[in-house]
Structure 1
Amino acid sequence: MRNKLYAVVLLLGATATISSCTDDDAGTPVKPYTVPTTYSFANANYTKSTQRVKMLLELDTYLKTANAGLTTVPLDQAKVTNMWANTNNPFADASLNTSGINLKDLTSDATLYKLHADSVLIYNTGTPAVQGTGGFLPRNTGKIIVGPRGLEYGQTFLKGTMGGFLFKEAVKLLTAVKSISATDTTAAQKSWDEAFGYLAVPANYDSSLTYANTDPNRPLHWGGYLRERGRTIQAGGIIFGAFLKGRAAIGGYDVNVRNAQVDIILAKWEQLAAAAALAYVTIPTESASIGNPATQLHALSEGFGFVKALKYRPANSKLSAANFAILEGIMNKDFYALTGQAGFTDLKQAQNILKTTYGL
């Protein structure tokens, strides 16, 4: 109920002023503070995380040029490697080239996901794909590039990096905030802002809007999925609202509220990953998708990345280690075998774990 009431306040464009006389951290009194409706804090700085989000966007956009039409569009391996490591000025946005940061250093399982990016080039040969042979499959007006087991490597790279980099870093940063003293607002704000940047939404984000792909301030990556797969669980409003409230609470030395917002953000972000994973392990089993391997393999490849994201879930996650191992084991199977399995036994098991664990 508290979250719903807060969402109403945000929709009305109001701000909330909170005051308390309780001591939340070793006798530190809580100061009155105001929760804004936009991420408009005077000293907010999330430039580095925003730059990394933009790097990922440029690399993903480049890899996707292989999917245009049925004609083979050659890609440059050196360019992909340079964009991954930020070497030799590979980005169209010149500020990224001089930022001093890159994608590879903060990505867990970096070798795996770089291999997936490289595999787009390896199988971009103009060869029709069948089980055991990588190549292309027509999809809509273009095509997808898949490996011998049916993984669409562009999708597994992007979604895997969203989990092994953006989500993982946000979990690490926000978890660490809970251990920072109430009076060390500089350290807490720095980590909080960086985590907010990995959500990749504009400062004036509105969860009720459908942002156009041409909007330069549109949500990216996880931010886009707040609406695409998180609408039914109100992920956008809840996560953004908690980021606002927690950041304001830091300035007021209110560690109880700050820490509560950490828990809200991480639980809802994890549920968002699970909701996306559920959608993508369900699509291949639907009647409209059966017999359409491009649709099935594309969906499973997205599901692969979102399941992998759950590897980096917070310590208090509802997902048990045993159930995660089952999910990961299913997504590591040959996708042609999964989509050809009678009754979709494995995918139905994955659906059941995600539904029951996350209340979806």
Structure 2
Amino acid sequence: MKFKNLLLAAMPILFVSITSCSNDDDNVETFNYTVPATYTFERNAVTSVDYSGQSSRLLMLDEMGKYFSTAAANGTVADDSVLSEMYINTNNRFAGTGLNTSGKQLKDKTASSKDYFSLYLGGGSTVEQVSVRDLFEAQFDNGEAASQGPTAAAGVAGVYLDGSSKRLFAANGLEPQQVLLKGMMGACFLDQICNNYLSLNKLDEGTNKTDNTAKILVSGKSYTTMEHAWDEAYGYIYGADNLTVTPNTFKFWSSYINQVNADTDFNTLKADIDLAFRKGRAAIVANDYAVRNAQIDVIKAKLAMVPAVRAVFYLQEGKGKLATDNGAKAFHALSEAYGFIMSLRYTNKPGTNSPYFSKTEVDTMLASMLSGTNGLWAIDTLGAKLDTISTQIATKFGFTVAQAATVN
């Protein structure tokens, strides 16, 4: 598969001149540089962009999700030990080229950012880190139990036939696959983007700024450490997009950015995020750290809108289906909402270095969803809870529930 960093080298470049002031000292320095029309950056005619590790992790999660789907469709066991081995990338469990030998895994990047989970920097706790990793491991157990169970019912893990698709539900009605996919998008990918690779604690760590200003490259590479960190943040969004097929395929955050952007209420989101990544990378090359920092704020704010909007959308979609099959028809959407709500804990509000919703607030919303007898199956009281959570999220981000509910 050819990824976006390889493909874009052949695309035309739009030249935009930017003038700004350096924030390194009291002296005003003017830079004139170009922002490419695509995420294409080269040094000595060689690409200086590399996010192969991020591509690997995105594809690993994609295969883990498909493992659940295949087990449900074929009536086979979703073996929790296989999923656990995929999580830490051992015993050659992946089919994708190079994944087994990539040296990459998902578990060690789950809840591991510098800003939120580095004890040295006073971030989150190892207790929380262990807890969220255990939560994903629990989805492997839930998937295995459901794959061997009867028809899913209140308090009973099993299989639910949703149209032509079969889905695995835990005893509380949550779909383990969706909790894993959407939750990992937050706890791994979003956390790494906003709280690690776009953190000044990472970008400016040690001699990074001095080295970038002097253009001292990583040994054997065509990029500086700071350039590479920025590219790795970019890769956690776009690293598994495939633009060599028709129609193009988009994965995880890239796909959901497109979905939110498709609504007229949020139709500048995609362009805003894309431009901020390109402008910030160009600013790094030009040693313009003030512009770089401004783009970090744009990316963090705009990207946080995606799980917020999608959480409300799926909460409302699920609410609309509660009357079907004793509520089971709604549980796929509600499980997606559950995972996106989890992701809100890993957002980063510019100027605060804190999430838009704290861990306690997120945990309270999640607990509310499952607070009835047998979790989601308590459909008589669930609808009101979904509305309350929807309003809480929408109000925090400055949109209405109705606006988010219309996103396809």
Indicate the TM-score class for this superposition, using the shorter chain for normalisation: 0.7 to 0.9
Structure 1 alignment gaps of length 5 or more: 1-11, 206-210
The question of 1:45 aligning with 2:50 is answered yes
- SS at 1:24's partner residue? coil
Deviation at residue 255 of structure 1 after TM alignment:
1.2
- Tell me if the contact between 1:284 and 1:290 (Cα under 8 Å) persists in the aligned partners: no
More deviation, 299-308/73-82: 73-82
Identity within the alignment, %: 31
Q: How many residues align?
A: 336
1:167 paired residue among 190, 213, 217: 190
Query: Residue 104 of structure 1 corresponds to which residue in structure 2?
Result: 107
The question of 1:290 aligning with 2:292 is answered no
- SS at 2:23's partner residue? strand
Query: Residue 117 of structure 2 corresponds to which residue in structure 1?
Result: none
- Residues in 2 aligned to 1:140 and 1:30: alpha-carbon distance in whole angstroms: 61
AA aligned to 1:291 is T
- Tell me if the contact between 1:80 and 1:118 (Cα under 8 Å) persists in the aligned partners: no
The question of 1:131 aligning with 2:170 is answered no
- Tell me if the contact between 1:283 and 1:289 (Cα under 8 Å) persists in the aligned partners: no
- Residues in 2 aligned to 1:90 and 1:345: alpha-carbon distance in whole angstroms: 42
The question of 1:351 aligning with 2:385 is answered no
Query: Residue 86 of structure 1 corresponds to which residue in structure 2?
Result: 89
AA aligned to 1:190 is H
AA aligned to 1:227 is N
Deviation at residue 303 of structure 1 after TM alignment:
0.6
1:275-286 equivalent positions in 2, closer than 5 A: 275-286=309-320
- Tell me if the contact between 2:240 and 2:251 (Cα under 8 Å) persists in the aligned partners: no
Query: Residue 7 of structure 2 corresponds to which residue in structure 1?
Result: none
Query: Residue 138 of structure 2 corresponds to which residue in structure 1?
Result: 115
- SS at 2:168's partner residue? strand
Structure 2 alignment gaps of length 5 or more: 1-11, 43-47, 112-131, 213-223, 400-408
More deviation, 259-268/291-300: 291-300
The question of 1:56 aligning with 2:55 is answered no
- SS at 1:136's partner residue? strand
AA aligned to 1:174 is L
More deviation, 309-318/159-168: 309-318
- SS at 2:136's partner residue? helix
- Tell me if the contact between 1:134 and 1:147 (Cα under 8 Å) persists in the aligned partners: yes
Deviation at residue 359 of structure 1 after TM alignment:
1.7
Structure 1 residues 341, 316: CA separation in 2 closer, same or farther (over 3 Å shift)?
same
1:191 paired residue among 229, 233, 244: 229
AA aligned to 1:197 is G
AA aligned to 2:15 is T
- Residues in 1 aligned to 2:107 and 2:84: alpha-carbon distance in whole angstroms: 10
More deviation, 234-243/140-149: 234-243
- Residues in 2 aligned to 1:203 and 1:121: alpha-carbon distance in whole angstroms: 30
2:167 paired residue among 127, 137, 144: 144
Deviations along 1:145-200, one digit per CA (max 9) or x if unpaired, are 11111011111111111111001111122123564665443232121111111012
Deviations along 1:106-165, one digit per CA (max 9) or x if unpaired, are 113212112213321221025011111111111020221111110111111111111110
The question of 1:218 aligning with 2:249 is answered yes
Deviation at residue 102 of structure 1 after TM alignment:
0.8
Query: Residue 34 of structure 1 corresponds to which residue in structure 2?
Result: 34
Deviation at residue 73 of structure 1 after TM alignment:
2.6
- Tell me if the contact between 2:51 and 2:235 (Cα under 8 Å) persists in the aligned partners: yes
Deviations along 1:318-344, one digit per CA (max 9) or x if unpaired, are 44666445423323431112x3217x2
Query: Residue 340 of structure 1 corresponds to which residue in structure 2?
Result: 380
Structure 1 residues 290, 229: CA separation in 2 closer, same or farther (over 3 Å shift)?
farther
- SS at 1:137's partner residue? strand
More deviation, 149-158/175-184: 175-184
Deviation at residue 270 of structure 1 after TM alignment:
0.9
Query: Residue 128 of structure 2 corresponds to which residue in structure 1?
Result: none
2:269 paired residue among 232, 235, 238: 235
- Residues in 2 aligned to 1:152 and 1:196: alpha-carbon distance in whole angstroms: 29
Query: Residue 71 of structure 2 corresponds to which residue in structure 1?
Result: 66
The question of 1:257 aligning with 2:291 is answered yes
Deviation at residue 281 of structure 1 after TM alignment:
1.0
Structure 1 residues 194, 30: CA separation in 2 closer, same or farther (over 3 Å shift)?
farther
Deviation at residue 284 of structure 1 after TM alignment:
2.1
- Tell me if the contact between 1:123 and 1:145 (Cα under 8 Å) persists in the aligned partners: yes
Deviation at residue 290 of structure 1 after TM alignment:
2.5
The question of 1:18 aligning with 2:49 is answered no
Deviation at residue 295 of structure 1 after TM alignment:
2.7
- Residues in 1 aligned to 2:88 and 2:368: alpha-carbon distance in whole angstroms: 31
More deviation, 320-329/155-164: 320-329
Deviation at residue 256 of structure 1 after TM alignment:
1.3
- Tell me if the contact between 2:55 and 2:240 (Cα under 8 Å) persists in the aligned partners: no
Structure 1 residues 202, 94: CA separation in 2 closer, same or farther (over 3 Å shift)?
closer
TM-score (structure 2 length as normaliser)? 0.76
C-alpha RMSD over aligned residues: 2.6
